[in-house]
Amino acid sequence: MCSGRVDLEFVLRAFSNGMDGVFIGGCRLNECNYITHGNYHALTMVLLCRKIMEHIGLNPERLRIEFMSSAEGTVFAELMSEFGNKVSKLGPLGKAEGIDQNELKSKLAEITKLVPYIKLVKNEKLASRLENPEEYDKFFTKDEIDKLFSEVVSYYIDPEKCQACMTCAKRCPVEAIISAKNQIHVIDQEKCIKCGTCLEVCPPKFRAVMEIAGAPVPPPIPEEKRTIVRKSKKLNHRQSF
Ligand code: SF4
Ligand code: SF4
């Protein structure tokens, strides 16, 4: 119903599925029926996505957003026809840009996995209302996007500090924490969406969750070494088997 509902992930999925172009049609800016003004969200999402496309070597012109009213059928038809011709001229996705199909698929999959993280980091800018079209192209810069991907954070549970209180596992929104009673907790990096909740909720007296930026995450502690043996209520002592 609303262009604001078009998530960055939807656009990436369309390209991953081999679409050569994506067109998003929204209501005219400042004519939204709701206080949310979702079309501004769609606009900032598109501006971000275009820069991401450039970052991975895709032509950003393959993604377009236009705003019009439901009474402007002719405008819609003209824009679609113009965009269709443009995409035809650009040629097949990836091939025209000289990117190998498998490489493109893996790049798109990598970015798609980072969508929740990207939205979290760029949350404030994504909520902006850009009134002046001259701002559009410079709103997200190349350097900013390069930095976004070179400094991606990861979360890691320090096995020396984890006390298996299970708080992080209960709060993780995607069940990415391997958790069991009296077992050192471990983050499944494949499932983790980098929301940072575990870092926030790990009790200050343990501070077991670490944020690692732009560097590899240490390997998880082997399963057979995860058991914590508590000797008394007051004093915890860990033994590894
Ligand atoms: S960063 Fe978020 S998704 Fe990842 S393990 Fe922590 S709570 Fe779960
Ligand atoms: S909240 Fe902290 S101490 Fe508790 S299980 Fe998670 S990482 Fe371990």
Each residue's pLDDT tens digit, 213-233: 988 999 999 999 999 987 665
Q: Assess contact for 29 and 43: CB atoms under 8 A.
A: yes
What is the percent of the chain with per-residue pLDDT over 90, rounded to a whole number? Answer: 89
47 in ligand 2 pocket by Cβ < 6 Å?
no
Measured between alpha carbons, how far is 84 from 91 in angstroms, rounded to an integer?
11
> Has residue 46 got a pLDDT over 80?
yes
Ligand 1 pocket: which of 117, 152, 177, 179 to mutate (most atoms <8 Å of CB)? 177
Quick one: 205 exposed, middle or buried, by C-beta within 10 A (0-12, 13-18, 19+)? exposed
Q: How far is residue 223 from each of residues 35, 84, 179, measured CA to CA in Å? A: 51, 54, 11
Average pLDDT over all residues of the chain: 93
122 in ligand 2 pocket by Cβ < 6 Å?
no
Which residue has its alpha carbon closest to ligand 2 atom 8?
A: 162
pLDDT in tens, 150-167: 999 999 999 999 999 999
CA of 110 to the centre of ligand 1 (A): 17
CA of 124 to the centre of ligand 2 (A): 29
Measured between alpha carbons, how far is 64 from 24 in angstroms, rounded to an integer?
6
> Has residue 239 got a pLDDT over 50?
no
Closest ligand 1 atom to Cα of 175: 8
> Has residue 189 got a pLDDT over 60?
yes
> Has residue 240 got a pLDDT over 50?
no
Higher pLDDT among residues 131 and 12, named by residue: 12
- DSSP-H helix ranges across 57-207: 73-90, 101-113, 115-121, 123-126, 136-139, 142-150, 167-171, 197-201
> Has residue 171 got a pLDDT over 60?
yes
CA of 208 to the centre of ligand 1 (A): 13
pLDDT of residue 232: 60
pTM over 0.75: yes
pLDDT of residue 34: 85
Task: Locate 163 and state its tokens.
Answer: 């006390």
Task: Locate 211 and state its tokens.
Answer: 């944020």
